[in-house]
A and B are shown apart, each in its own frame.
Chain A
Amino acid sequence: MKSYRTHLMLCAGTGCVSNGSYRIKAALERELVKHSLQDEIAVVMTGCNGFCAQGPVMTVLPDGIFYQLLTEQDIPHLVEEHILKGRPVQRLMYTPPAEKSPVPKMSDIGFFQKQRLIALRNRGLIDPEKIEEYIGRGGYQALAKALTSMSREEIIQEMKASGLRGRGGAGFPTGLKWELTAKQPGQEKFIVCNGDEGDPGAFMDRSIVESDPHSVLEGMLIGAKAIGASHGFVYIRQEYPLALERLNLALGQARDYGLLGTDILGTGFNFDISIHRGAGAFVCGEETSLIGSLEGRPPEPRIRPPFPAESGVWGKPTCINNVETWATVPEIIDRGAAWFSKIGTETSKGTKVFSLVGKVKNTGLVEVPMGITLREMVYDIGGGIPGDREFKAVQTGGPSGGCIPASLLDLPIDYERLTEAGSIMGSGGMIVLDEDTCMVDVARYFLDFLRDESCGKCTACREGVDVMYQIVSDICAGKGKEEHLPLLEELGQAVKDGSMCALGGTAPNPLMSTLRYFREEYEAHIREHRCPAGVCKALITYRIDPAKCKACLVCNKNCPAEAISGEKKKPQKIDPEKCVKCGVCRDMCKFEAVTVQ
């Protein structure tokens, strides 16, 4: 069965035919072939649309855009602009006489304009609790194709050709991972969906499972056929109640429809999936720890090799992929590797889902083609920084990632470029930081997170991260010493070298990248006992500028420490002994009279 991205519903009622709609059809088909779009776009001749006076008329679905009074000359422009570039041609659209639509199109809104949805193809469109709606949008079509008309080798070949790389963070080629697992001897093999999303500020996996659970199941089914697995596990966090609920529903529905279980689609293929709930340890995102947790052991990483592809869950060959990777698989099988590999950059194909959070106007979940620049992410999609603040950095890749400064805003996002910049792609967390963020404090935050989450198996990670945290905390407290910076760099390298898994191997990244790009902030803390961003409490004092104070007493009434005093109609004063540096006075002052030094 063939599916199309867009349908052009061209009217072939008598009125439109006499106005030349068949000539329009021929012109459309010519242009589609010219742009090699004939397999993606279908031209459908419909019955009378009723609006004969404006004929020939055409509706573009699913965009729902209505074109009128078409002529052959309009078609090349229309196909190129709307169908190829996704920009509807205003001039050919119907505008109701009196009423002009003041509501913008989705494609006019910066947040949506640059996105291209593959893994999130059904987001906001279907009811995630109904398998029928997933099927109605072409769901399980790829599974049918994989089970009935493709061999295991062909599926793996397709995945390899697509260039899809693991979306969990490491970016290992998915097709290769499948091939390695498929080649292993043994009857029993497993596949695992890694939904242990632990990065602060990241919610890609949760959102995919919540809005489209069947896409993950379908991807796993295709992977199971390719690898020869008979059972799959979804490892997902207990903290994701809605995702869990919807996943459970989806599993039940898939079983009822015969898409899970025995003899799936009458092809003799057997596969089922069970859910394993994780209790929320960050290290479980690491695959060997995850396997430990699945087996009921403590989640501690182990030496690789053997890789899970050789010896995974209960010593059987196991293929572990991230939620987003699995959700992308059906579209690659359905539309082909050639289609997928056209999107993205040389080394990173396709699209990536990011959770864009922090100091940006539009926060949310975005899916963009690889190779988009950080500037486009922050300013076009994110809408810029709220409150006219200056952009300072983007933190990518969570606690394993780093901070990328403003000078690298034009960096195209792909696996290699982010690594070169001292960060990582990671699972797709993207935290925007503005001028009010202290980079030393950011490093301290992530080190604090990691010292809690280190499993403790490797000494370098367990002790090293903790010592780094203590030193950075000292710097924040104004107790930093000149020799701390080289010591931190040495420690960072030691933790990197001495840790078995990626948690320790990347734990120094937030610290090292801030040291690399924002060294002057560390130096200001150490040498001048000054926090340039005004965050580190030990190094700042709040003051009221008597020239700006209008004696409205708002600060005085709202100070939780009763540190502000002063007579009515006279400038107020802060008692530094009592002040707890909470910043309430600064937030409340309408006259910007409260300053931080």
Chain B
Amino acid sequence: MSLREGAGHAKVTVHMGTCGIAAGARKIMSALIRCMDDPAVMDVIVTTSGCAGLCSREPMMTVEIAGKAPVKYADLTEDKVKRIFAEHVLQGKIVADCALAIGSEQTL
């Protein structure tokens, strides 16, 4: 699924493999969607992806602000999502105490 396709200033990816869903990724997704509705945020893309590998730290999500390195958040709760959305997605400030790491993995 994907909300608000196209260009945006930020993209939030919720990792929804079986492990993520079992750890509560659907709740995280719902919390995120609530954050988008009130007040209506139009330039943030919310999308899903598969397992990010570190299953023991699920639910996880990745926040990418246009032009910046992606940041992975782990061990999420609905409250943490609210904070991350308000501080990182909207204001660009990384929520350091919830963040797992910044950047991407080595592929190929």
Contacts and interface: CB of A to CB of B under 8 A. Distances in A.
Nearest to A382: B56
A502 interface: no
A124 B52 contact: yes
A62 B107 CA distance: 10
B68 A64 contact: yes
Interface residues of A, number: 49
B55 A365 contact: yes
B101 interface: yes
B100 A109 contact: yes
Interface in A101-129: 101-109, 111-112, 115-118, 120-129
A354 B17 CA distance: 16
Contacts of B33: none
A62 B104 contact: yes
B91 interface: no
B108 A335 contact: yes
Contact of B51 (A118, A362, A365): A365
Q: Which of B15, B70, B96, B105 has the most CB of A within 10 A?
A: B105
Nearest to B100: A109
Interface in B34-85: 47-57, 62, 68-72
Interface stretch (A20-28, A203-211, A458-466): A203-211
A62 B69 CA distance: 8
A108 B56 CA distance: 18
Contacts of B51: 123-124, 207, 210-211, 364-365
Contacts of A366: 53
Interface centre among B17, B19, B96 (most CB of A within 10 A): B17
A211 B104 contact: no
B30 interface: no
A199 interface: no
- Tell me if A's interface is mostly helix, strand, loop or mixed: loop
A64 B17 CA distance: 25
B73 to A, nearest CB: 10
Contacts of A30: none
B53 A115 contact: yes
B108 A125 contact: no
A121 B107 contact: yes
Contacts of B104: 62-64, 106, 125
B105 A65 contact: no
Contacts of A124: 13, 15, 49-53, 62, 105
A84 to B, nearest CB: 12
Given A127-B49, A210-B17, A211-B50, A112 B101 contact: yes
A210 B103 CA distance: 23
Nearest to B18: A242
B101 A109 contact: yes
Interface string B86-108: 00000000101001111111111
A210 B101 contact: no
A101 B13 CA distance: 22
Given A124-B62, A242-B21, A362-B54, A103 B108 contact: no
18 contacts: A64-B68, A101-B96, A101-B102, A104-B101, A104-B102, A106-B102, A112-B106, A117-B106, A121-B108, A124-B105, A128-B50, A129-B48, A207-B51, A211-B17, A211-B49, A242-B18, A364-B57, A365-B55
Q: Which 8 pairs show the lowest CB-CB distances between chains A and B?
A: A211-B50, A64-B69, A124-B52, A364-B55, A363-B56, A106-B103, A117-B107, A103-B99
Interface of A: 5, 62-65, 86, 101-109, 111-112, 115-118, 120-130, 203, 206-207, 210-212, 240, 242-243, 331, 335, 361-366
Interface of B: 1-2, 13, 15, 17-19, 21, 47-57, 62, 68-72, 94, 96, 99-108
